[in-house]
Amino acid sequence: MSIRPLVILPDAQLRIISAPVKSIDKDLTQLVGDMFETMYDAPGIGLAAIQIGQPLRVVTIDLSKKEGEQQPQVFINPEIVWASDDRSSYEEGCLSIPEYYAEVTRPARVKVRYRNETGEEREVLAEGLLATCLQHEIDHLNGVLFIDHISKLKRTMVVKKFTKLAKERGEG
């Protein structure tokens, strides 16, 4: 397992629609391990494969609060099959948009169908932080960022800031 570099805004990879996983093999197991290691190192609570440059429909999540009590969850080919009409708001951040946070309103509960790391099809009815995190990460798989859910003015300011930072680093 290894820590991989994060893809940071304004990198165009973040707008790629990720491809479905066709088979669960040792390469996918390696990818999932690297995703967890990268996510924990950042530190973050969720990571989509595209955030480390792999356009595959894979998400890792761990909402545990304390060190040593990890509760890793893997979602392969996740899809939202139902969303509640009631909404909830959370202050969201993103490892690909470091140190920027904004209030985002999303469905309060979602049902997500996915495959686990052994290939079994599963469904989860998620609410609270898990619902928000799943929606945030599934958005990544579809080329959508959490800043797409805020005002156009705020989004434009964030993109300009990160574009300027990328140019200063010689990336743009």
Tell me the two tokens of residue 131: 């619902």
Looking at the DSSP bridge assignments, the partners of residue 12 are none
Closest CA to 97 of 44, 61, 54, 60: 44
Beta strands in 8-160 (DSSP E): 46-48, 58-61, 73-83, 87-94, 97-107, 109-115, 121-127
Looking at the DSSP bridge assignments, the partners of residue 18 are none
Q: How far apart are the first and last CA of the chain?
A: 30
168 catalytic? Reply is: no
Exactly one of 91, 99, 137, 168 is catalytic; which is it? 137
Tell me the two tokens of residue 72: 């890793």
Non-local CB neighbours of 22 within 8 Å, separated by 6+ positions: none
Query: Which residues participate in catalysis according to the annotation?
Result: 137
